[in-house]
Amino acid sequence: MGESMQQDNISEKLLRLAVHASPSGILIVGGDGCIVFANQALLDMFGYSSDELLGHPIELLVPDEDAEVHRRHRRTFDASPSPRNMGGREHFNGVSKDGRIFPVEIGLRPCETEEGGLVVATVIDISERKLIEDRLRRHEESLEDLVEERTRELQEVQLEKEQVLDQLIQSEKLTAIGTLVSGIGHEINNPLYLVLSMAETIRDEDDIYSRREYGDEIVKQCRRIAETVKNLSQYARPCGSHDLQNVDLNESVAAAVQAAKQSLQSGDIEIRQKSRPVDAILAKPEEIQQVLFNVIRNGIQACTGKGVVAIDTFSKDNRVSVRIRDSGTGIPAGNEKKIFDPFFTTKGPDDGEGLGLYIVRQIVTRHGGTIDLVSDCGSGTTFIIEFPAADRE
């Protein structure tokens, strides 16, 4: 009997030692809401001695503004006691003896004893954790602000880049117009000479039927002049900010070929066009026409003496392609990759700034397409331009 009591005393001492040595605060509250027991960690946490806490309501450890809410929580828990583990999202505030308010996390465990129901509460001061969480939140907000600012800067840079590219595109157009104008003179002058000649003839013509024939021919030639001017004006106008539209690549090729023929300085270059039915592409039509005209013009300029520029279109695997082959001198070895670089040119100083193919690639890329070339020095060059079909998602 004596050994059993001695063993119980040892176990009780060990239990008290373990409870007081626990790094977490342990608090036992009776059914009346008064404190029955507090371990050393809890006493240190709130700054009280054991005599100052035992027998006092648990609300002594709660800020005055939260005391009534805590009483309601306690009554709800007493009505349906069940274990509540730590680590929940809800945190509470405790108040120390010196009035310092700090966040705590609480776990509850109801117990039934001979003296009645008790609640064992485990209390942890989470001030340090909250400080770390606040610092992390502020750091995250700071990072979000930096990302937003950097994104805005990148958008501004991209907008500026697009504006510069649009200016380069327009500048290259005007350069190409210089080539067009030299060849377009006869397209206007020839019908003008006919109009002038017939006007002079009709003035002295008495036969009404002859006058009508001359008048019909004058109207025909004037319409021809108007169409030539219209094509030139459409090519020269700046690229607008309108939405993309379905473009028939065959129609764009035909318009580019017509403009290229007007720029020919002699009849030695033959342009052959082979058009197959192709899907529409989603693009700005004036930019696609500029791409085709620039590549066709390069093919014409690459031919010395008599030559051929062959153009054919085709569709395959949701891609629409145009192939432009010339029988010119080809591109010297080592320059194939440089040909699309800005300001790179193999022509003379009076034949351009070396921006044509650079702008061509920029336009093609902006429309989701690709441009490649195959060239053998002395055997000509083939450009293959591909665009995604308009109905592809």
- The CATH code of the domain that includes 66 is 3.30.450.20
Domain membership of residue 90 (yes or no) is yes
Whether residues 383 and 259 share a domain: the answer is yes
| Structural domain ending residue among the three candidates 75, 93, 125 | 125
- C-alpha torsion angle, residues 150, 154, 156, 159 (rounded to 10): -170
The CATH number of residue 283's host domain is 3.30.565.10
How far apart are alpha carbons 46 and 35 in whole angstroms?
14
pLDDT in tens, 89-99: 567 899 999 99
- Tell me the per-residue pLDDT of 229-270, one tens digit each, with 9 for 90 and over: 665 555 555 555 456 889 999 999 998 888 777 666 556 888
Q: Is residue 332 part of a domain?
A: yes
pTM > 0.85: yes or no: no
Domain assignment present for residue 173? The answer is: no
Does residue 248 share a domain with residue 108?
no
- Provide the number of structural domains found in the chain: 2
In a domain, 195, yes or no: no
Residue at a domain's end among 72, 94, 125: 125
In a domain, 137, yes or no: no
Tell me which residue range forms the domain holding 89: 2-125
Same domain, yes or no, for 384 and 243? yes
Residue that is written with structure tokens 């010339």 in the block: 326
CB 278 within 8 A of CB 320: yes
pLDDT in tens, 101-154: 999 999 899 988 887 889 999 999 999 988 998 999 999 999 998 999 999 898
Describe the crossing of helices 285-302 and 356-366 by its angle, rounded to 10 degrees: 150
Residues 245 and 383 in one domain: yes
Contacts of 225 (CB under 8 A, 6+ apart): 188, 191, 192
- For the chain, the farthest-separated pair of C-alpha atoms sits apart, in whole angstroms, at 154
pLDDT tens, the chain, 393 aa long: 455 555 556 667 777 787 877 888 999 999 889 999 999 999 999 999 999 999 999 999 999 998 898 888 888 888 888 888 766 556 789 999 999 999 999 989 998 888 788 999 999 999 998 899 899 999 999 999 899 999 989 888 888 887 887 777 677 666 665 655 655 565 576 677 777 777 877 877 778 888 888 788 888 778 767 766 665 555 555 555 456 889 999 999 998 888 777 666 556 888 888 888 999 999 988 888 888 988 998 888 888 878 899 999 999 889 999 999 999 888 887 777 778 776 666 665 445 555 678 778 888 988 899 999 988 777 889 999 999 998 754
Q: Is 205 among the domain residues?
A: no
Q: Please, are residues 28 and 58 in contact by the beta-carbon 8 Å criterion? A: no
Q: Does one domain contain both 257 and 121?
A: no
- Asked if residue 158 is part of any domain, the answer here is no
Domain-terminating residue out of 67, 93, 125: 125
| Residue 233 forms part of a structural domain | no
